Amino acid sequence: MPTFPFSETDPIRHPGPPPKASEVVIVGGGIIGVTTALFLAQRNIPVTLLEKGRIAAEQSSRNWGWIRKQGRDADELPIVIEAIRLWRQLAEECGEDIGLTQTGVTYLAKTDKDMAGFEAFMKIAAIHALDTRLLDADETATLIKGMSRKFKGAMTTPSDMRAEPWLAVPALARLAVRKGVKIVENCAARTLEISDGKVKGVWTETGYIEASSVLVAGGAWSSLFLRRHGVSIPQLSVRVTAAATDPLAEIYAGAATDEHIAFRRRQDGGYTLAAGGSHLHYLGPDAFRHATKYLPALRDNPLGTRYFPFAPSGYPDAWSTPRDWAPDSHSPFERMRVLDPAPEPARLRSIKRKFKHLFPQFERVRLKAGWGGMIDAMPDVVPIVDHVAAVGGLFVATGMSGHGFGIGPGIGRVVADLIQGNQTGHDLSRFRLSRFHDGSPVRLGPAL
Ligand SMILES: Cc1cc2nc3c(=O)[nH]c(=O)nc-3n(C[C@H](O)[C@H](O)[C@H](O)COP(=O)(O)OP(=O)(O)OC[C@H]3O[C@@H](n4cnc5c(N)ncnc54)[C@H](O)[C@@H]3O)c2cc1C
């Protein structure tokens, strides 16, 4: 079965060399780095974006493509509401079809307890006047056709959206370039140059870039990059598996999930699928270092994670991955241009089985592709969006915890303002870096 279409053998579409100086340097060419760069360039700020592999080749293209307000953490919600407005605007501005469609998101309820959980979100939805509503069993069966199970009900948000991530983020990168961003693929940021408590520039594998501000938006690699400079963030990653079917009849135009299977209609007429159940975590030094911070998440869902004693060589938290390196020597970032975990075969089988079980009318489901991804997570399931107090000019936007695609343009706009020293228009205290070190209790956000 074909796996994911992005790899380090793809042609380099944004070649170097990087400039000798740039007001802002962004580390990481996922949705967060790309949209931050775009908003800065729109304000005529010189920006260089460094991507060790290819634009969007890691999480930002492998995700399910859900753009949702539904079920969000209350503090993320205002940013995701803005993000949805920005998605529409950017889709128009980029002039490419990125599959952006307003088709809704639906969570299916098996039990009264599930429905009670949905009611808790309805209170948050009411504050923001969302169109989220609860459905009874019959309304649920009408919304999603041909399900073999009768659900207690559902929660649905018709104004939520979907897009094709592997089209969207490269298209936004091209728009950013047209606005003046210098993107350099195949160029790892190795270390920061810091003196007198301020960032002075970035050492890359092809030389030095002088810069007064640096944003670390490195997804699953951010913790490794920052730790080299004494900035500790309790970020870990989990491996997940997803798949795409051949074209099938439309049973629902949006995205939906029960406890067994998540499905999302695709622009090509198929579905992007993932099975419920546990994800895989590779134990490494960071896992032990930050274990206590993850206890609340573990208690909340003790069976949600399976463990393996070591990561494949070259992974960010592998036992053999160096934690220190010199600016002029190979770093772990260029050793692994694209973090491309294989899909788990058992997961692919269960995806197919569960989808066919829920929709028996699909007698012949063929998975045309299956892929893996490493999701970067924080202990409280919400990101870090902040400046680093101890290092002037250093900013961090990472740990999107499995839901950074939809909110991406909102975070990008906010971070562009943070970097410029402007008011961001949102309360970012929930996302502050210091929450992990100032004795604050871990306050869990929703997992989905
Ligand atoms: C299977 C799956 C399903 C998901 N489904 C959804 C969904 O439906 N909706 C949703 O909102 N979110 C979803 N997510 C989560 C979402 O994809 C991520 O939260 C989001 O893409 C994170 O974006 P990012 O820019 O922070 O990181 P990434 O997309 O991981 O990008 C970081 C980039 O930084 C680069 N980099 C790292 N270190 C360096 C360095 N030193 N120098 C240069 N480059 C560097 C990496 O190569 C990488 O390309 C899903 C994720 C997965 C894996």
Quick one: which atom of ligand 1 is closest to the CA of 406?
A: 11
226 Cβ inside 6 Å of ligand 1 = no
Whether 203 and 193 have beta carbons less than 8 Å apart is answered as: yes
Average of per-residue pLDDT values in the chain: 96
79 Cβ inside 6 Å of ligand 1 = no
Q: CA of 324: how far to CAs of 106, 186, 190, in Å?
A: 45, 21, 10
Task: Determine the distance from the C-alpha atom of residue 295 to the mean position of all C-alpha atoms in its chain, rounded to a whole number.
Answer: 22
Q: Answer with the residue of higher pLDDT: 249 or 6.
A: 249
52 Cβ inside 6 Å of ligand 1 = yes
406 Cβ inside 6 Å of ligand 1 = yes
Ligand 1 centroid – CA 112 distance (Å): 35
Task: Determine the distance from the C-alpha atom of residue 119 to the mean position of all C-alpha atoms in its chain, rounded to a whole number.
Answer: 26
Quick one: which atom of ligand 1 is closest to the CA of 50?
A: 43
Q: Transcribe 410-440 into DSSP letters.
A: HHHHHHHHHHHT---SS--GGG-GGGGTS-P
Residue bearing the CA closest to ligand 1, atom 51:
63
Mean pLDDT of 177-197: 98
| pLDDT tens, position by position, 35-84 | 999 999 999 999 999 999 999 999 999 999 999 999 999 999 999 999 99
51 Cβ inside 6 Å of ligand 1 = yes
405 Cβ inside 6 Å of ligand 1 = yes
Edge-to-edge strand ranges of the sheet holding 198-204: 189-195, 198-204, 207-210
**Residue type at 380?**
D
pLDDT at 447: 83
Whether 385 and 419 have beta carbons less than 8 Å apart is answered as: no
Mean pLDDT of 263-273: 98
**In a mutational test of the pocket of ligand 1, which residue from 405, 415, 431, 448 has the highest number of ligand atoms less than 8 Å from its CB?**
405
48 Cβ inside 6 Å of ligand 1 = no
189 Cβ inside 6 Å of ligand 1 = yes
With cut-offs at 50, 70 and 90, classify the pLDDT of residue 315: very high
**In a mutational test of the pocket of ligand 1, which residue from 8, 58, 411 has the highest number of ligand atoms less than 8 Å from its CB?**
58
Pick from 3-7, 345-349, 385-389: least confident: 3-7
Residues 6 or more apart whose Cβ sits within 8 Å of residue 49 = 25, 26, 28, 29, 33, 34, 37, 173, 176, 181, 182, 183, 184
pLDDT at 2: 66
Provide the residue count of the chain.
Answer: 448
373 Cβ inside 6 Å of ligand 1 = yes
Asked if pLDDT for residue 5 goes beyond 80, the answer is no
186 Cβ inside 6 Å of ligand 1 = no
| pLDDT tens, position by position, 116-169 | 999 999 999 999 999 999 999 999 999 999 999 999 999 999 999 999 999 999
Ligand 1 centroid – CA 14 distance (Å): 19
